[in-house]
Amino acid sequence: MSLLTFKGGIHPTCCKEFSKDSKIKIIEPPDFIYLYLSQHTGIPSKPVLEKGAEVEIGQKVAKAAGKLSVGLHSPVNGTYMGTVMYPHPLGGMKEAIRIQVNKENSTPFKEKERAKISNIPKQKLINIIKDNGIVGMGGAAFPTYFKLQVPSSKKIKDLIINGVECEPFLTSDYRLMMEKCEEVMKGVDIVRRIINPENVWIAIEANKLDAFEVMKSTSSLFPWANFALLKTKYPQGSEKQLIDAITGRKVPEGGLPFDVNAYVQNVGTAFAIYEAVYLGKPLFERVVTVTGNVRHQSNFLVPIGTPFEYLIKLTEGPIGKISKIINGGPLMGIAQSQISSCVVKGTSGIVVQNETETLKKEPSPCIRCAACVDCCPMNLLPTEMYKHIEMNRLEKAKEMGVLSCMECGSCSYACPANIPLTQQFKIAKSRITKKVN
Ligand code: SF4
Ligand code: SF4
């Protein structure tokens, strides 16, 4: 079978074997939950309760605060303790709702019949998805109800369900596909009904052949689905690269998937949509891989707002001294300054590293090998952009397309001279956009 892919990319060691066989475990919640008001792209949510109020599992504790916003729901029964400033996994201190947990938790959510769901009109489905606080679970956390409102001028030809999970170490999407394939497909069916595409693709990398077969085994229930096996390569799961691999169409610079008649949704988001529509269950918990240098690499079903420290303890702790904790995978994830950061809706995994793994290699001069150019999935010239940034020629870097850099880390990974290319592009992008604003 020929495997679909895109031009460029890298082949890091997958390291999936550490956690791939760890089935999703339901955990006891910690004593306190911290729900950041800002954990989606858009306007932070607004608290709706008075301090001291009793809350129930699934109850709305903050509402959407504008057009591009969603609400927050309590993942536990407990007491609403007001808001505090707390370390955010994307950096800095952010306002968070603090809930003292009452350990008597039980789930009141039961599945409705599929036939009843098929009668719900499109706009009502979108409203359910909004009311239940669903955002993109692949990391971007963009409000899903907003993304589902495709402009009438844009016809969607290809709906692509992203089960690629190309970041090394992470296996939360893999476990969802292995254990909840039918539920994921029911969620895909809802997306399909809302956006009415010509084709539906379930896209999975070749290093997850078992998940590919499991998902494919649902074909008789969901005959409209096509199953696409992709080459194992990073960043195969990035939206633009995935569209390119499956359809051969390229999203233009500064454009959106709509512009090439494509729409991408992550498998975790499809599962959250299933839960919202079939069970009436808001997004208040998610699967998180806790892996790397810990005793038992695991996939946990985690209440949103659980501190990383608590999850690391559940793995029976780190092996040796922790040197770095990453929210997400090692290539695109964000290193944490505090172990007390908490899980947000976009947290797919936590990678713990020790000192040997984080040893900084000293950069040396560029040897003009072009490895960075060959692997850049955005067809940029990292070595040239870097030179301009070093000389403080930001305009030149901008002309060369630095703003299109998706910060995938491939060039830094490939560079034999250990030049921190991606880090410089990140800084340059932020300096350029600040100047514009
Ligand atoms: S980090 Fe940017 S420049 Fe480097 S390979 Fe990725 S997209 Fe290209
Ligand atoms: S990979 Fe590193 S050494 Fe090679 S051309 Fe790019 S910046 Fe220079």
User: For position 15, which CATH number holds?
Assistant: 3.40.50.11540
Whether 341 and 383 map to the same domain: the answer is: no
- Give pLDDT tens digits along the chain (437 positions): 679 999 999 999 999 999 999 999 999 999 999 999 999 888 999 999 999 999 999 999 999 998 889 999 999 999 999 999 999 999 899 999 999 999 776 667 777 776 678 889 999 999 999 999 999 998 779 999 999 999 989 999 999 999 999 999 999 999 999 999 999 999 999 999 999 999 999 999 999 999 999 999 999 999 999 999 999 999 999 999 999 999 999 999 889 999 999 999 999 999 999 999 999 999 999 999 999 999 999 999 999 999 999 999 999 988 888 889 999 999 999 999 888 999 999 999 999 998 777 767 899 999 999 999 999 999 999 999 999 999 999 999 999 999 999 999 999 999 999 999 999 999 999 999 876 55
Q: Is 368 in the pocket of ligand 2 (CB under 6 A)?
A: yes
The β-bridge partners of 302 are 286
Q: Do 136 and 278 sit in the same domain of this protein?
A: yes
pLDDT value of position 104: 73
Q: In what order do the strands lie in the sheet with 72-73?
A: 46-47, 60-63, 72-73
- Residue 405 in contact with ligand 1 by CB distance below 6 A: yes
Instruction: State the ligand closest to the CA atom of 235.
Output: 1
Q: Is the CB of 382 under 6 A from ligand 1?
A: yes
Same domain, 376 and 354: no
Ligand that comes closest to the CA of residue 424: 1
- CB count within 10 Å of CB 103 equals 10
Please tell me if the CB atom of residue 6 comes closer than 6 angstroms to any atom of ligand 1. Answer: no
Query: Could you tell me if residue 195 is inside a domain?
Result: yes
Domain range for 314 is: 1-26+107-359
Predicted pLDDT at 190: 97
pLDDT at site 118:
85
Element (H, E) at 160: strand 158-163
Task: Classify strands 93-101 and 78-87 as parallel, antiparallel or unpaired.
Answer: antiparallel
Q: Verify whether ligand 2 is closer than 6 Å to residue 369 (CB atom).
A: yes
Ligand nearest to the CA of residue 411, numbered in listed order: 1
Whether 192 is in a domain gets the answer: yes
Let me know whether 244 and 125 are in one domain: yes
Q: Are residues 273 and 314 in the same domain?
A: yes
371 lines ligand 2 (CB under 6 A): yes
Q: Does 254 lie in the same domain as 154?
A: yes
Ligand 1 pocket, mutate which of 375, 425, 429, 432 (most atoms under 8 A from CB): 425
311/427 same-domain check:
no
- Cα–chain-centroid distance for residue 48? 27
Q: Last residue of a domain, which of 333, 359, 385?
A: 359
389 lines ligand 2 (CB under 6 A): no
Looking at the structure, tell me whether residues 389 and 352 fall in a common domain.
Answer: no
Any ligand 2 atom below 6 A from CB of 427: no
Query: Is 62 inside a domain boundary?
Result: no
Q: How far is the CA of 195 from the centre of ligand 2 (A)?
A: 43
Question: For position 357, what pLDDT does the model report?
Answer: 76
- DSSP-H helix ranges across 165-300: 172-179, 181-195, 209-216, 239-247, 267-274
pTM over 0.85: yes
Return the pLDDT at 359: 67
3-state helix, strand, coil in the chain (%, to 5): 30, 20, 50
Ligand 2 geometric centre to CA of 386 (Å): 10
Residue 411 CA, closest ligand 2 atom number: 1
- Ligand number nearest CA of 429 is 1
Ligand 1 atom closest to the Cα of residue 404 is: 7
Same domain flag for 428 and 313 = no
Together in a domain, 297 and 431: no
Number of other CB atoms surrounding residue 92 within 10 Å: 8
Ligand 1, residues 332, 375, 405: which to mutate, most atoms within 8 A of Cβ? 405
- What is the per-residue burial (b if ≥16 Cβ within 10 Å, else e) of 8-23? bbbebebbbebbbebe
408 touches ligand 2 (CB under 6 Å): no
Nearest CA to ligand 2 atom 8: 366
Ligand 1 atom closest to the CA of 406, numbered from 1: 7
Distance 49 CA to ligand 1 centre (A): 44
What is the rounded distance in angstroms from the CA atom of residue 137 to the CA atom of residue 267?
A: 8
